[in-house]
Amino acid sequence: MGMVQEFREFISKGNVMDLAVGVIIGGAFGKIVDSLVKDIIMPLIGKVIGNVNFSEMYIQLSPPVKAVEGIPTYESLTKAGASLLAYGNFLTILINFLILAFVIFQMVKIVNRLKGSAPDAAPAPTPEDIVLLREIRDNLKK
């Protein structure tokens, strides 16, 4: 019964609940950024570069195990068992990561600025032996 009680105390702490809320919100935010990158940013970049579809940027490493009907696409080749180096998908995920990292960096920066720095505590008094040594040094200089 001790483990159940410990677990209950662990869950009831505020930090655990804050972490749970953060994970849930982070997951939802990640989906929003993923959609932003896949549906808005990458098509715009592809259009500027010259009608490039990043989801179809790959290098075929091995032939498909099954026959592919029609024009081979990333999806059809993957389903047919071909080994692909999907660098277009990697670029999309990399841009997604960079946007998330930048947003989190900005959030932490803002939170740290809002918290402000705690006022510095008064410095500890100088020990008496140090004060005496300083006085001796100053007297010797004279």
Which tens digits make up the pLDDT trace of 83-100? 899 898 898 888 888 888
Q: Tens digit of pLDDT for each residue in 22-64?
A: 888 888 888 888 888 888 888 888 888 888 878 788 898 888 8
Exposed, middle or buried: residue 34 (CB in 10 Å: 0-12, 13-18, 19+)?
middle
What's the CATH number for 2-52+86-116?
1.10.1200
pTM: 0.58
List the one residue out of 26, 27, 95, 28 whose CA is nearest residue 55: 95
CB atoms within 10 A of CB 73: 14
